[in-house]
Structure 1
Amino acid sequence: MFALFIALGVLWRSARWRVAGGAAALFWLLAAGWLSGALLDLAQPPIYRTPYDRGRAALPALPFSAHTAIVMLGGGTDYVDGKLVPKDDVYARIALASRLYAQCAQAGGACRVIVSGGNPQHHERAEADTYAPWLLAAGVPRDALVLENESLTTWQNARNVAALVHRRHDEALVLVTSAYHMPRAMLDFHRFEMAPLPAVSNVRHVKRGLLPRWRNLVAAETALHELIGIAQFYVYRMIGWF
């Protein structure tokens, strides 16, 4: 977007001050939260704006079946003090997936946690492999943990998970991811004939005001990424690519 405004200023020199003013206004609306909040509301429809856990001591009851797969989608990795760790939003996904596993096991069913995430950032390990120790530390047994570490996109998450779960036709699915990611994830999972129960791990928020905030720009970028991904899904379906 910034590059687009620079290009407009170069090509439309007679109006470059108006272009600069428009760019400044747009980025202020994003950074101050007014426009980024609207984008985030589009990316996070009301049905997904309440985290499944909500910080309660006990989770709401789920209709676990004799076989249940809790599918946790990746959300990136980052280096902190030289160590590869999950990105911030992923910690909430790990916490919810592990608590759902404990609830499922207590209900007496055969439960497993499928972690889906490859290495789109080209770090030293795939997302699924990086998250595994955190899930083990949170109480998920190693024999109940399935690592799908090849997928690079949400569409590939759904495709690769489908290959794992369609072998067990009686398996109930619970899909764990963040609110902003859930609409696109549900589209892709439905595309592969899966109907998971959505379990929202966390919701993004912006702070509206006069002062610009970096986190509001990050939220706007996240929202735009998801909205473009949803539009891409429908375009690809229309032309037969999905």
Structure 2
Amino acid sequence: MAAGGTRGQRTGWRLLRVAVGLAALIAAAYVGGFFLFTAELDRTPPTDMQAADGIVALTGGPDRITAAYRLLEEGKGARLLITGVHPDVDARSLKGIVPGEASKFDCCVDVGHRAENTIGNADEAAEWVRQRDYRSIILVTSTYHLPRATLELGRAMPDVEIRPYPVFQDTLHLDGWWAYPGTTRLLISEYTKYLLTLSFGGQSSMSS
């Protein structure tokens, strides 16, 4: 009995060491991937954005809408879809966010209210693109959100060329992010969601 107990203990310790080793490898891979994720985020907007058939802006801040509408005014797309708008927010309210007279808003901006998360944004945008037979779009969202958003929209419309356009907020500190707890939490959360999207093919109900 004693010998059998000793062998069982040794087996248990070996399994524990294997489990600890695997956990350490997973943790190291996660941390390494996170640093790579943050390093590859765009720090500046494109200087010469190529025009596309349409423009899609994902809600999540007025800066996204302003940037997308500016692209519309510059002729970078024929129409603009603002997807994920809260049901209580109408087009008139969104028009008030845009600087200037917003002369193209009434004729060339569509507002989508159905999407509640990034997966919903992708579905709503894909339907909008199919209805207009577009072959390319400019995707406008926050720089930290672009990797996951591009992945989701690419899955929803695999035959459409997606050209990412990053938006930057004053409260987001990508350089030296480790010194800013709010930025650090946001980046870790977004990186984790991105990994889950890669792993589960966009079937998670993660919020934007």
Q: What TM-score range do you get, normalising by the shorter chain?
A: 0.5 to 0.7
Q: Distance in 2 between matches of 1:206 and 1:46?
A: 10
Distance in 2 of aligned mates of 1:134 and 1:157? 20
AA in 1 matched with 2:56:
V
For 1:50 and 1:133, locate their aligned partners in 2 and report how far apart those are by CA, in whole Å: 26
Q: How far off is 1:71 after superposition?
A: 0.6
> Unaligned regions of 5+ residues in structure 1, if any?
1-37, 53-58, 76-89
Task: Tell me the residue number matched to 2:88.
Answer: 125
Partner of 2:167: 201
Q: Structure 1's 40 and 178: CA in aligned 2 closer, same or farther, altered over 3 A? A: farther
Verify the 8 A CA contact 2:38 2:174 in the aligned structure 1.
no
Residue 71 of structure 1 aligns to which amino acid in structure 2? V
Give the SS at the match of 1:48.
coil
- Paired with 1:162 and 1:63, the residues of 2 have a C-alpha distance of 19
Mapping 1:224-239, distance limit 5 Å: 224-237=188-201
Higher relative contact order (CA 8 A, sep 6+): 1
**Quick one: structure 1 residues 189 and 103, their matched pair in 2 at CA, closer, same or farther if it must change by over 3 Å?**
same
Q: 1:41 to 1:98 in 2, by over 3 A?
A: farther
The count of aligned residue pairs is: 168
Whether the 8 Å contact between 2:72 and 2:79 is mirrored in structure 1 is yes
- C-alpha change, 1:221 and 1:130, in structure 2 (3 Å) is farther
Pairwise CA distance, 1:97? 1.1
Instruction: Give the secondary structure class of the aligned counterpart of 1:200.
Output: strand
For the residue of structure 1 that corresponds to 2:143, the secondary structure is coil
Give the gaps of 5 or more residues in structure 2: 1-31
Q: How far apart in 2 are the matches of 1:233 and 1:207?
A: 25
Structure 2 equivalent of residue 46 of structure 1: 40
Aligned to 2:67: 96
Deviations 1:102-145 (A, max 9, x none): 1117xxxx7111001144xxxx8359775343137562321211
Counterparts of 1:205 and 1:196, CA distance in 2 = 26
Aligned positions of 1:124-143 closer than 5 A? 125-126=88-89, 130-135=93-98, 137=100, 139=102, 140-143=104-107
Q: Paired residue for 1:60?
A: 48
Partner of 1:18: none
Q: Secondary structure at the match of 1:196?
A: strand
Q: Using the alignment, how far apart are the partners of 2:154 and 2:122 within structure 1?
A: 9
Kindly, what percent of the aligned residue pairs are identical?
22
> Structure 1 residue 231: deviation in Å?
1.6
Aligned counterparts of 1:152 and 1:137: Cα–Cα separation in 2: 29
- Give TM-score scaled by structure 1 length: 0.58
Instruction: Map Cα deviations across residues 180-238 of structure 1 (whole Å, 9 max, x no partner).
Output: 000000110111124311111216315759xx97xx2211221122112112212322x
Name the TM-score, length of structure 2 as normaliser: 0.66
SS of 2:161's partner is coil
Contact 2:59 2:65 (8 Å CA) reproduced = no
